[in-house]
Amino acid sequence: MSPHHIIDARGLEPPEPFEKAMEAVADLLPGESVTLVLDRMPHPLFRVLERDGYRYSPLIRDDGSVEILIECP
Amino acid sequence: MSGLGAGLGYDATPPFSAPLRFFLSAPLFSAAAGGLLLADPGLLDSRWTPGALATIHLLALGFLLQVMLGALLQILPVVAGASFRAPLRVAGLTHGGLCAGSLALTLGFLTGAPALLQLGGGLLGLTLAGFLIAAADAIRHAPRAGAPGHTPRDLHLALGGLLIAGGLGLALTLTLARGWRLPIDFVLQVNLHAGWALLGWAGLLLAATSWVVVPMFHITPAYPQRLARWWAPLVLTVLTTWSVGAVSEASALVLVAGMLLLTLAAVFPLATLRQQARTRRSQPDAAFGAFRLAMIALLAGLTALIPATLTDQRHWPVLAGILLLHGGFGGATRAMLYKIVPFLAWLHLTQAGIKAPNVRKLMPEAQARAQLRLHALTLLSLIVAVFIPLAGHLAGALLFVESLWLWWNLASVARIWHKQQAARSAPAAV
């Protein structure tokens, strides 16, 4: 996984964006990160990331979509 | 960890059993409404018959309010990051109070017994007050940055509408049970209660939820920003103006505000139909079609309200009620349940670290499609029954079967969820 890999999961019906996010996160090695682009703030995903010890920082774009940088500690 | 996570001071998502109990009880109340109509098709004769009042409240409180409050327990944390402090306790008390209160009120309407009306009104009043306090607390503690869009604000406004509709309803039960009267005409009080319940609460909640759910599950572009920003505040402003005009007997103001309100209300289903027409789905699924039918029924119901308001003919208010309650809100609720319940089952299994079946396996499309077709047929038969009373038997039977079928489909998802959980917690075979 590249440290700057970007996954665009906009326009997909739930739970597909969640599944894509989990697949991407599962491939991360310590120190690597992935950026997710989603249609909305994924509160349920945040809870799983917190539970599994990942760092994340969400950013709301001007068009209303959400960009989340997830890092594997 | 991010600031968002730090903003949630207590455990966020409620257990699936919290909203599920509401979703599984609701169809049983709808089935009871079908049973009443099957037994007495004459109840559609006017909106004032005891049977009509009982049926309306079985559908409005037992079915719609039940699903809506259950959904809010889940929607507020997921969409707005607003988590209830004790979700299972809130769910248990709200569910118990709502079921008991709806039953007591329904029996009160049917028998005319003041004690039952008072018991129903009291239980419902206490239950709603408790829920509203818990919801206000959850919203107050929600992280501000975690809630883009207008849904959280509109959910808040809808809860305000519920407070007013509930207060007016409680006052009405006291009028019927004890003869206590507000200083306004009884029919006007009923109309205000219905207006706030249908538009100030249910309409606002449906729109607030749709701003998120329609683009998410029906794969449409987002609603226009201007619509999502202004629709709910405008509706509330005009609804308040209409109410003040009606109480102060300013007939010109009531007429203008009433027509403006109907037009504004129609904007939401029209906009939703436009959004659905722009879907990126290659093949619309059953829930998509059911939501579209619900929007058409809302438009037809709003149209029927015009003659219902301007003439004395008894069938117009009944027709409007059927189209709005069962066709519009009932249809949209069913469509949402078919999306939300399998998704929540999947989500809760996944969050618990359990391999979840695909959502299409949790709720097979053919199963949902068949039930939703019967829902459409039931709506048609109810419309016919307004004009041909004998058709009421058939409409009642269809409503009964359709509701139990919905229950069966939702219970199937719950069974799979329960089985998967049990398999995880069971000790490994030796």
pLDDT, average across residues B264-278: 98
Give per-residue pLDDT as tens, B90-99: 999 999 999 9
Q: How far apart are CA B336 and CA B339, in angstroms?
A: 5
| Among B68-82, B158-172, B175-189, B196-210, the least confident range | B68-82
Asked if the structure places residue B421 within a domain, the reply is no
Q: How far apart are CA B87 and CA B111, in angstroms?
A: 35
Closest residue to A43, CB basis, from B1, B146, B280: B146
Give the per-residue pLDDT at B148.
Answer: 56
- Given a cut of 50, whether residue B9 has pLDDT beyond it is no
Contacts of B187 (CB under 8 A, 6+ apart): none
Q: Is the peptide bond between B143 and the residue preceding it cis, with omega within 30 degrees of 0?
A: no
Strand-pair category, A5-8 with A33-38: parallel
Strand order in the sheet with A33-38: A5-8, A33-38, A66-71, A55-60
B350/A contact by beta carbon, under 8 A? yes
Name the residue in chain A with its Cα closest to that of B345: A15
Closest residue to A15, CB basis, from B77, B146, B347: B347
Chain A residues whose C-beta sits inside 8 Å of any chain B C-beta: 11-15, 18, 22, 39-41, 43-44, 46-48, 50-51, 55-58, 60, 64, 66
Q: Verify whether the Cβ–Cβ distance A64 to B149 is below 8 Å.
A: yes
Quote the Cα angle for B269-B18-B353, to 5°. Answer: 105
List the CATH number of the domain containing A64: 3.30.110.40
Query: Which residue did the predictor score with more confidence, A52 or B248?
Result: B248
List the CATH number of the domain containing B30: 1.20.210.10
| Among B84-88, B272-276, B309-313, B423-427, the least confident range | B423-427
Long-range contacts of B422-427 (CB under 8 A, 24+ apart): B424/B352, B424/B354
Strand-pair category, A5-8 with A55-60: unpaired
Give the helix ranges, DSSP H, for B219-250. Answer: 225-247
Rg (CA), chain A: 11
Give per-residue pLDDT as tens, B157-169: 999 999 999 999 9
Q: Verify whether the Cβ–Cβ distance A14 to B217 is below 8 Å.
A: yes
pLDDT range class, residue A3, cuts 50, 70, 90? low
Structural domains counted in chain B: 1
Contact B342, B359 (CB under 8 A): yes
- Given a cut of 50, whether residue B5 has pLDDT beyond it is no
Closest CA to B289 of B233, B372, B402: B372
| Among A10-14, B211-215, B263-267, B364-368, the least confident range | A10-14
Q: Verify whether the Cβ–Cβ distance B216 to A47 is below 8 Å.
A: no
Q: How far apart are CA B200 and CA B1, in angstroms?
A: 39
Q: Which residue of B2, B219, B346 is the best one to mutate when testing the A interface, meaning the one whose CB has the most A CBs within 10 A?
A: B2
Contacts of B219 in chain A (CB under 8 A): 11-13
- Given a cut of 50, whether residue B1 has pLDDT beyond it is no
Give per-residue pLDDT as tens, B11-46: 457 899 999 999 999 999 999 999 999 999 999 999
User: Is this complex scored with an ipTM above 0.85?
Assistant: no
Q: Verify whether the Cβ–Cβ distance A43 to B212 is below 8 Å.
A: no
Give per-residue pLDDT as tens, B378-413: 999 999 999 999 999 999 999 999 999 999 999 999
Contact B107, B113 (CB under 8 A): yes
Task: Give the residue numbers spanning the domain of A48.
Answer: 5-71
Task: Give the residue numbers spanning the domain of B198.
Answer: 8-142+150-413
What is the pLDDT of chain A when averaged over all its residues? 86
pLDDT range class, residue B6, cuts 50, 70, 90? very low
pLDDT, average across residues B228-239: 97
Q: What is each CA distance from B250 to B189, B236, B243, B246, B280, in whole angstroms?
A: 15, 19, 10, 6, 48
What percent of chain B has pLDDT above 70?
95
pLDDT range class, residue A4, cuts 50, 70, 90? low
Structural domains counted in chain A: 1
pLDDT, average across residues B61-76: 94
Give the per-residue pLDDT at A48.
Answer: 83
Residue type, B139: I
Task: Please return the burial class of B267, using the count of CB atoms within 10 Å of its CB with bins 0-12, 13-18 and 19+.
Answer: middle
DSSP state of A64: S
Closest CA to B41 of B326, B402, B374, B394: B394
Q: How many CB atoms lie within 10 A of CB B332?
A: 28
Contacts of A14 in chain B (CB under 8 A): 216-217, 343
E strand or H helix at A58:
strand A55-60
Q: How far apart are CA B238 and CA B252, in angstroms?
A: 14
Ranges A53-57, B27-31, B308-312, most confident: B27-31
Closest residue to B215, CB basis, from A15, A39, A47: A39
pLDDT, average across residues A14-39: 89
**What CA dihedral angle connects B349, B145, B269 and B233, to 10 degrees?**
140
Q: How far apart are CA B285 and CA B381, in angstroms?
A: 24
Q: Verify whether the Cβ–Cβ distance A55 to B1 is below 8 Å.
A: yes
Give the per-residue pLDDT at B181.
Answer: 84
Q: How much of chain B is in helix, strand and coil states, percent to nearest 5? A: 80, 0, 20
- Given a cut of 50, whether residue B143 has pLDDT beyond it is yes
Query: Which residue did the predictor score with more confidence, A53 or B35?
Result: B35
